[in-house]
Amino acid sequence: MKSELKPETRKDEIIKTAAKLFKKKGYSAVTMRDLAKAMGIKAASLYNHINSKQDILKAIIISLAEEFTEGMKMIKSSQGTSIQKLKEIVKLHVNITSKNAYGMASLNNDWMHLEEKLEYYLLLRSNYEDEFRNILTEGINNNEIVDTNVDVTLFSILSTLRSLYLWIPKKEDLNPEELAQNLSDVLINGIYK
């Protein structure tokens, strides 16, 4: 895990601005001229820093997907109860989304436009879901987690975590630790009194 101390390059700025626009209108609806205007330059100038529109999307999505893969690897190999691992997964999503909510929008909604990197992305995602399911199944076998339909449970939790990008930007006052705690409470203990 290398610490990010590098100064932000112009390319980084472009990618960050693009992510913001992609969140608002989706990848396909954002033109290079839109992006250029948001950067205060002309469209052709963007190509001094990036190779193509595609490449911007790739940069946004793949780095995030790999961050999740990395995080899951750590959690998987950690020791602790299944419930503890679940709470770590919640934290992972809250942390990554807090740092880059705009990028998470692309990860969730624009991945189908990835072209060459699509297959790789789908592999990472499917592996991630498998590891997640393993943790849930382990918890059921350990009698930590109630024995309902695993797929429904996985779907429900993952849906909530994947939607965080819509929610976190609107609640900037709530700090990540508190949010992760509240979420874990709701997801694990339910709401029934």
- Nearest-CA neighbor of 94 among 30, 186, 174? 174
* Binding flag, residue 113, DNA (CB under 7 A): no
Which positions from 38 to 67 touch DNA by CB under 7 A, shown as an x/- string? ---xxxxxxxxx-xxxx-------------
What's the one-letter identity of residue 7? P
Query: Least distance from C-beta 63 to a copy of itself, angstroms?
Result: 22
Query: Least distance from C-beta 120 to DNA, angstroms?
Result: 19
Q: Where do contacts with a copy of itself occur on this chain (CB under 8 A)?
A: 24-29, 83, 109-110, 112-113, 136, 139, 143-149, 151-153, 155-157, 159-160, 162-163, 166-167, 171, 179, 182-183, 185-193
Q: 165, 105 in Cβ contact below 8 A?
A: yes
Q: In angstroms, how far is CA 127 from the centroid of its own chain?
A: 15
- Closer residue to DNA in complex, CB, 51/142: 51
Contacts of residue 125, defined as CB under 8 A and 6 or more positions apart, other chains included, come to 65, 111
In the list a copy of itself, DNA, none, the entry touching 156 (Cβ below 5 to 8 angstroms by class) is a copy of itself
Query: Which burial class, exposed, middle or buried, applies to 62 when counting CB atoms under 10 A from its CB (0-12, 13-18, 19+)?
Result: middle
* Binding flag, residue 156, DNA (CB under 7 A): no
Q: In angstroms, how far is CA 107 from the centroid of its own chain?
A: 6
Query: Least distance from C-beta 149 to a copy of itself, angstroms?
Result: 5
What's the one-letter identity of residue 145? I
- Closer residue to a copy of itself in complex, CB, 30/50: 30
- Between CA 50 and CA 68 the distance in angstroms is 25
Residues near DNA (CB under 7 A) are 9-10, 30-33, 36, 41-49, 51-54
